Homo-oligomer: A and B are copies of this chain.
Amino acid sequence: MNTTFGEYIRLLRNKNELTLTQLAAKLNLDSANLSKIENGKRDFDEKRLPKLAEIFKLDLTELRNEYVTDQIGKHIYETNCTKQLLQVAEEKAEYRRTLKEKAL
């Protein structure tokens, strides 16, 4: 899925022919704020993922993967992290996993 998470929500919303107001209500969210989310001006709050999955009958795990990759993608983008540095970051994540093991 090569969109931001906000664009993804908009896609889902349009496909299901819901207005901002309608979807916002289902998500227990202000429609103005949902607009900002779709336009990438605010983040979608992770705690609403289950509700979002329910509304559009999506697999929660997959949806969470969409969310996580969006968040990390954003982080990569905002920090100007190159592919080379990303490789280093991945190694550091791996290192943290080994730390965790040792702690047990």
A79 close to B71 (CB less than 8 A): yes
Residues of B within 8 A of A77 (CB): 92-93, 96-97
Given A75-B75, A77-B97, A97-B77, A70 and B85 contact (CB-CB distance below 8 Å): no
Q: Is the CB of A68 within 8 A of B79?
A: yes
Q: Which of A38-82 contact B (CB under 8 A)?
A: 65, 68-77, 79, 81
Q: Does A3 contact B (CB under 8 A)?
A: yes
A88 interface residue (CB < 8 Å to B): yes
Cβ of A33 < 8 Å from any Cβ of B? no
Q: Mask for A4-36, Cβ within 8 A of B = 1, else 0?
A: 100000000000000000000000000000000
Contact among B73, B81, B86 with A95 in the assembled complex (CB-CB below 8 Å): B73
- Cβ of B95 and Cβ of A76 under 8 Å apart? no
Q: Which residues of B contact A68 (CB under 8 A)?
A: 79, 81, 85, 89
User: A86-B86, A86-B90 are contacts. A2–B79 as well, Cβ < 8 Å?
Assistant: no
